[in-house]
Amino acid sequence: MKEYIDTGKKDTRSGFGAGLLEAGRRDNRVVALAADLKGSLKMNAFAAEFPERFVECGIAEANMVGVAAGLALSGKVPFCGSFAEFITGRVYDQIRQEVAYSRTNVKLASSHAGITLGEDGATHQTMEDIALMRALPGMTVLVPCDYNQTVQATLAAAEFDGPVYLRFGRPAVPNFTNPSEPFEIGKVYKLNEGGDVTLMACGHTVWEALEAARLLEAKGIYAEVLNIATVKPLDSIALAASAAKTGKVVVCEEHNAAGGLGEAVAAALAQEGICAKIRFINGGDRFGRSGSPAELMADYGFTAANIAAAASAL
Amino acid sequence: MKTNRELAAIASQLRRDIVRMVSAAGSGHPGGSLSSADILTALYFNVMEHSPATWTRSAAGQDAFFLSAGHLAPLYYAVLARAGYFPVSELGTLRRFGSRLQGHPSVTDGLPGVHRASGSLGQGLAAAAGLALGKKMDGDSHTVYALCGDGESEEGEIWETALFAAHHGLDNLVGMTDVNHQQIDGRVEDVAGLENLSEKWLAFGWDVICADGHDFASILDAFKLAGKRDGKPKMILFETVMGKGVDFMEGTHEWHGKAPNAELAARALAQLDETLGDY
């Protein structure tokens, strides 16, 4: 199968920080807003280089989203960031009215998403954010898979005209995508060709899907691996083409079942008239708990071994 | 500049428009629309630097007004139409299927004069603070105005913005509160007791101006004071009467969100002079 090299583990939030800085250098309309989590969101470099374009809002996320909408109206390209729970669930109505319905060009930067936030536990581990943001009319939902892709996704979000939800995480994870490949919003990235089963994933689980494909190949099962970095709008045609070829699909995501990638994929395949066996690997219907990211990934089954096992069982 | 007498004539027509629009729609919010009518008349016809011909959602090079209390849509649409943003004939379409005049303001259909959607309370002041900050970043010296209700001030986000705007020295932001003392469930002091609003805004670091929201001399004086650029955001507390101008709607929460039937509308219109011609 196609070789992917981990060039050294890096956190995707640092990819956002690097992308934000570069976006700021390319376009002076780019501004950043933080709610007392500038450091956690890796906005420090941007804030140091562009202090006049960095807006500290304090621990007041609702106001931050409104201010971002107002800045967007004035022609800025605001990235407002917080932990995933606090930039979605806490401010859903503000995003709905001031960003989505009002069509303001606000970018929601969502860090520490999923269970891999780790030790802080379930109050901070949102596994529902993709569902919330997918539900909003006109919202674009991006879930890049590693540091390099998060840099590029941030640049693409800055150039895109419209509301964007950009989800990334806290732990250091393998960094393997091409650092100079521009991010195309709406594109499904085919990381490996295969005819026996399709492994679909987004975010941190993409690397695990690639590892699973390696495990499967050793058993003579050839897996296609799709990195669904744009969860909305979803490229149904690309998904359908792969599912029609293999007839078997495993969808793995660091998110609960309701409203996540798995349901989106299932709906897309049904709509396209594709008959395929599907297995979902997700958080089901539960809250997270404290633990190291690795422990939690294992507990939830977000591992290459579990993905490979699910694929083998189809 | 209009004289106070001319402003009063415009406000009378706006009140007629409001009553006719809401009555024809069979639903809507007349009470607060009537209490804020004089404030927005002064703002749009004598205070704001704005031009319907060159208006954009960005409000570049102009003053801007954000309606935070989106249920005052009937007043908002009437003042925009009377100020020349769109034909007054469109006012009769309020809340109808296919109309740009949604029950609460929307930008979906590109209604001129409307910068952002509103209806979910407590959010307009934050967006206004964002635009005011954007204007400062751009060196645009124009002012951003936002109108809230006193009941709306029960929303926590209002006070997040109160902290934010003072901290960032947004002296080009003018908040206005229509203190009409009524909300859906009853008198504000009975529902959630805001106590001393003036002291609250002062404590948050704002310049506070108190005015009679039905006296044009007082309203215009307040806006003049609010023009001071002293590093502090401004809050004008307009003392008003809910349902002002229609005797059976005055001073009661009963007409917060209820449409008069044809008979009551006629009774209301008999109390309001037609000064500019009904739509």
Q: Chain B contact for A102, CB < 8 A?
A: yes
Write out chain B residues lying below 8 Å of A104, CB-based.
Answer: 116
Which of B117, B125, B131 is opposite residue A102, by nearest beta carbon? B117
Interface contact flag, B123 A102, Cβ < 8 Å: no
Interface contact flag, B117 A97, Cβ < 8 Å: yes
Q: Measure the CA–CA gap between A310 and B279, rounded to whole angstroms.
A: 68
Q: Chain B contact for A97, CB < 8 A?
A: yes
List all residues 6 or more positions away from A308 whose beta carbon is below 8 Å from its beta carbon.
A212, A215, A216
DSSP B111-139: -TT--S---STT-HHHHHHHHHHHHHHHT
Is there a contact between A51 and A32 (Cβ–Cβ < 8 Å)? Answer: no
Interface contact flag, B123 A94, Cβ < 8 Å: yes
Residue stretches of chain B with pLDDT short of 50: none
CATH topology match: A10-173 vs A189-313: yes
Q: Measure the CA–CA gap between B148 and B70, rounded to whole angstroms.
A: 9
pTM over 0.90: yes
Residue of B276, B227, B261 lying closest to B79 (CA atoms): B276
Identify the CATH homologous superfamily for domain A10-173: Thiamin diphosphate (ThDP)-binding fold, Pyr/PP domains (3.40.50.970)
Crossing angle between the packed helical segments A261-271 and A236-246, to the nearest 10 degrees = 80
CA distance B154 to chain A (A): 14
Q: How far is CA B214 from CA A53, A267, B7, in A?
A: 41, 57, 11
Number of separate helices (H) and strands (E) present in chain A: 11, 14
Residue stretches of chain A with pLDDT short of 70: none
Fold of B4-269: Rossmann fold (3.40.50)
Chain-centre distance for alpha carbon A35: 21
Write out chain A residues lying below 8 Å of B135, CB-based.
Answer: 74
CA distance A31 to chain B (A): 10
**Closest residue in chain A to residue B133, using alpha carbons only:** A71
Rg over alpha carbons for chain B, rounded to the nearest Å, is 17
Strands (E), chain B: 64-67, 144-149, 173-179, 182-183, 186-187, 207-212, 234-239
The pair phi, psi for residue A294, each rounded to 5°, is: -65, -45
Interface contact flag, A76 B137, Cβ < 8 Å: yes
Residue of A279, A270, A264 lying closest to A311 (CA atoms): A279
- The torsion angle over the Cα atoms of residues A184, A188, A192 and A194, rounded to 10 degrees, is -150
Expressed in angstroms, the distance from the first to the final Cα of chain A is: 21
**Token pair for B84:** 């020349």
List all residues 6 or more positions away from A150 whose beta carbon is below 8 Å from its beta carbon.
A12, A13, A15, A16, A19, A144, A168
pLDDT of residue B195: 84
Q: How far is CA A287 from CA A44, A126, A244, B49, in A?
A: 31, 8, 34, 53
Q: Chain B contact for A57, CB < 8 A?
A: yes
**CB-CB neighbours of A124 under 10 Å:** 18
Is there a contact between A7 and A146 (Cβ–Cβ < 8 Å)? Answer: no
* 3 state SS for B161-185: HHHHHHHCCCCCEEEEEEECCEECC
**Token pair for A273:** 């008239």
Interface contact flag, A66 B129, Cβ < 8 Å: yes
Write out chain B residues lying below 8 Å of A66, CB-based.
Answer: 123-127, 129-130, 157, 161
Write out chain A residues lying below 8 Å of B164, CB-based.
Answer: 57-58, 60, 63, 67
Is there a contact between A108 and A163 (Cβ–Cβ < 8 Å)? Answer: yes
Q: What CATH number labels A189-313?
A: 3.40.50.920
Q: Chain B contact for A82, CB < 8 A?
A: no
pLDDT of residue A123: 97
Per-residue pLDDT of B154-209, as tens digits, reads 999 999 999 999 999 999 999 999 999 999 999 999 999 888 999 999 999 999 99
pLDDT of residue A101: 98
Which of A66, A73, A78 is opposite residue B126, by nearest beta carbon? A66
Interface contact flag, B160 A93, Cβ < 8 Å: no
Which of B60, B156, B164 is opposite residue A67, by nearest beta carbon? B164
CA distance B248 to chain A (A): 34
Q: Indicate the domain borders of chain B.
A: 4-269
CB pairs under 8 A between A and B: 116
Write out chain B residues lying below 8 Å of A78, CB-based.
Answer: 130
Q: How does A268-305 read in b/e, with b if 16+ C-beta sit within 10 Å? A: bbeeeebebebbbbbbeeeebeebebeebbeebbbbbe
Per-residue pLDDT of A164-173, as tens digits, reads 999 999 999 9
Which of B117, B119, B127 is opposite residue A70, by nearest beta carbon? B127
Q: In chain B, helix, strand, coil percent, each to 5?
A: 45, 10, 40
Interface contact flag, A66 B119, Cβ < 8 Å: no
Q: What is the ipTM for the molecules in this complex?
A: 0.97
Write out chain B residues lying below 8 Å of A60, CB-based.
Answer: 157, 160, 163-164
**Token pair for A116:** 């891999």
Write out chain B residues lying below 8 Å of A94, CB-based.
Answer: 123, 126, 157
Helix (H) / strand (E) element for A102: namely: none
Q: Measure the CA–CA gap between B51 and B60, rounded to whole angstroms.
A: 11
pLDDT of residue A177: 98
DSSP A33-80: EESS-TTTTT-HHHHHH-GGGEEE--S-HHHHHHHHHHHHHTT-EEEE
Active-site residue set of A: 61
pLDDT of residue B199: 98
Q: Indicate the domain borders of chain A.
A: 10-173, 189-313
Q: Measure the CA–CA gap between B12 and B217, rounded to whole angstroms.
A: 16
Interface contact flag, B116 A62, Cβ < 8 Å: no
